[in-house]
């Protein structure tokens, strides 16, 4: 009996010990779990938990956060709507400023969207190798009255940019039809303008319906234009395709340009320009000038235009200067030019005038060293027009392998018109009147011309 009570007492004590141990373990577990929750809560009020990933950067008001280290700046992420109606100028400018600080960055205009951009200046200097990737559409304000009066000279103005590329398969649409009325022709508006910019490439994009000039380079250098399309109606006034002014070292190639004015216009201060593999038309052809307006000094040199097709244009390849100007045009080569239904394929006009009557003046921009070689095709008015100054004739003008025939639209004269032009001609030449178009120079005429060139040295 005693033994039985002893065994029961031992069993009872063992049960108490087991129960106490379980209670102690559960208590420790609960305490540990509560400590972890409190610790997590406390750390959520601070920056980061030790050993965890860093918190993402804070968002910038107005656009989504950008991954640290990203080099692509999509303007949709900077608040742009891309609906073609909302003003996306601020988003474009903000994306530009962010990308400008990073070497090799890209500002992206994504495909499938239309971005309405009011006149804007995208300014440098920026870090090198900045890219503007245009895959969507950029739209200018379509109404004249919506343009700020302080911005009536350019739509998108690139200023002080070096080592920069515009590329993509998108469209830059100037929506310029309201500007083509006579009352709005007092302004000189460029769709894309580069000022004091160097080592710039523009390739692959399409620029259409500019208020006036589509693409302008001013006081710039190291310019590459490749595989672009420029298009506006033949009736749109002053819509030059590409306009060069005070710009050096330019190559324009493999592009299609049709507009209401010069396909390429080369103005004073330009040198070392190479234009090749271009389709030009409609428009006014490829032109140097007008130069020397209002008795100004004009200096243009080392221009090569070759392997170009010109069709349905007012001129083929031409040089035009105002009476009374000073300076020189020298070392110019036009070769392998195919013309079709061009009013006058070859023009030098030192009596250029955009009015009904201009006052005769004795001073002129001197023109020398101009070569025309393999100019072939059809004209609608006259094959050649060389009208050089009485006081300062054109010198070293060479005509080689010129074969021009009237087109079925022909309503003009077969005879070449030549005045005070000196140089030499070499066959084949058609029509035959071209053979007597330039006269031999004994040297005195050259001396007169060279005496006027010193202002360009």
Q: Strand, coil or helix: what is 139?
A: strand
DSSP-assigned beta bridge partners for residue 229: 206, 256
- Token pair for residue 120? 């804007």
Question: What band does 68 get if pLDDT is binned at 50, 70 and 90?
Answer: low
Catalytic residue, from 173, 261, 262, 349: name it.
261
Is residue 284 part of the annotated active site? The answer reads yes
Quote the percentage of the chain above a pLDDT of 70. Answer: 81
The per-residue pLDDT for 445 is: 64
CA distances from 136 to 62, 66, 76, 340 (A): 21, 21, 11, 34
The whole-angstrom separation of Cα 416 and Cα 434 is: 6
Fold of 262-456: Pectate Lyase C-like (2.160.20)
Instruction: Give the residue extent of every domain in the chain.
Output: 71-240, 262-456
What is the number of other CB atoms lying within 10 angstroms of the CB of residue 211? 30
Is residue 63 part of the annotated active site? The answer reads no
CB 255 within 8 A of CB 280: no
The mean pLDDT value for 176-197 works out to 87
Question: What band does 442 get if pLDDT is binned at 50, 70 and 90?
Answer: low
The mean pLDDT value for 391-417 works out to 90
Backbone φ and ψ of 435, nearest 5°: -60, -30
Q: Strand, coil or helix: what is 368?
A: strand
Catalytic residue, from 162, 243, 284, 385: name it.
284
The mean pLDDT value for 372-380 works out to 97
CATH, range 71-240: 2.160.20.10
Question: What band does 4 get if pLDDT is binned at 50, 70 and 90?
Answer: very low
* Burial class of residue 381, CB neighbours in 10 A (0-12, 13-18, 19+): middle
DSSP string for 272-339:
EEEEEEEEE-SBS-EEEEEESGGG-EEEEEEEEEEEEEEESBSEEEEEEEETT-EEEEEEEEEEEEEE
Predicted TM-score (pTM) of the model is 0.84
- Token pair for residue 124? 């440098």
CA distances from 366 to 173, 236, 246, 319, 326 (A): 39, 32, 18, 11, 7
Mean confidence (pLDDT) of the chain: 85
The mean pLDDT value for 8-23 works out to 40
The mean pLDDT value for 366-393 works out to 95
CB 377 within 8 A of CB 338: yes
């Amino acid at each position: 009996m005693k033994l039985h009570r002893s065994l029961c007492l031992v069993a009872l004590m063992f049960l108490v010990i087991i129960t106490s141990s379980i209670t102690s373990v559960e208590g420790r577990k609960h305490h540990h779990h509560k400590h972890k929750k409190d610790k997590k809560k406390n750390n959520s009020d601070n920056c980061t938990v030790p050993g965890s990933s860093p918190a993402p950067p804070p968002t910038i008001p107005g656009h989504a956060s950008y991954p640290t280290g990203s080099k692509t700046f999509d303007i949709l992420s900077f608040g742009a709507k891309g609906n073609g109606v909302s003003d996306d100028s601020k988003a474009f400018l903000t994306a530009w400023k962010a990308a400008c600080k990073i070497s090799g960055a890209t500002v992206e205009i994504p495909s499938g969207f239309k971005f309405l951009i009011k006149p804007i200046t995208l300014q440098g200097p920026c870090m090198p190798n900045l890219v503007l990737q245009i895959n969507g559409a950029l739209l200018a304000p379509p109404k004249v009255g919506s343009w700020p009066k302080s911005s009536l000279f350019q739509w998108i103005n690139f200023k002080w940019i070096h080592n920069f590329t515009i590329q993509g398969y998108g469209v830059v649409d100037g929506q310029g039809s309201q500007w083509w009325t006579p009352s709005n022709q007092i302004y000189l508006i460029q769709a894309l303008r580069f000022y004091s910019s160097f080592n710039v490439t523009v390739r692959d994009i399409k620029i259409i319906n500019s208020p006036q000039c589509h693409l302008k380079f001013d006081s710039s250098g190291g310019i590459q234009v490749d595989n672009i399309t420029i298009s506006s109606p033949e009736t749109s006034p002053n819509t030059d395709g590409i306009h060069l002014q005070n710009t050096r070292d330019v190559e324009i190639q493999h592009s299609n340009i049709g507009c209401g004015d010069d396909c390429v216009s080369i103005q004073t201060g330009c040198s070392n320009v190479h234009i090749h593999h271009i389709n030009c038309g409609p428009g006014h052809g490829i032109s140097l000038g007008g130069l020397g307006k209002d008795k100004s000094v004009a200096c243009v040199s080392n221009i090569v235009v070759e392997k170009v097709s010109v069709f349905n244009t007012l001129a083929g390849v031409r040089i035009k200067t105002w009476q009374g100007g000073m300076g020189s045009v020298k070392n110019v080569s036009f070769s392998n030019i195919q013309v079709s239904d061009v009013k006058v394929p070859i023009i030098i006009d030192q009596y250029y005038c955009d009015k009904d009557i201009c006052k005769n003046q004795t001073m002129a921009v001197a023109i020398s060293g101009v070569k025309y070689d393999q100019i072939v095709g059809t004209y609608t008015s006259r094959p050649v027009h060389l009208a050089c100054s009485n006081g300062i004739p054109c010198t070293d003008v060479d005509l080689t392998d010129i074969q021009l025939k009237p087109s079925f639209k022909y309503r003009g004269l077969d005879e070449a018109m030549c005045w005070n032009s000196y140089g030499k001609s070499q066959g084949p030449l058609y029509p035959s009147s071209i053979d007597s178009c330039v006269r031999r120079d004994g040297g005195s005429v050259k001396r007169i011309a060279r005496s006027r060139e010193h202002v360009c040295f």
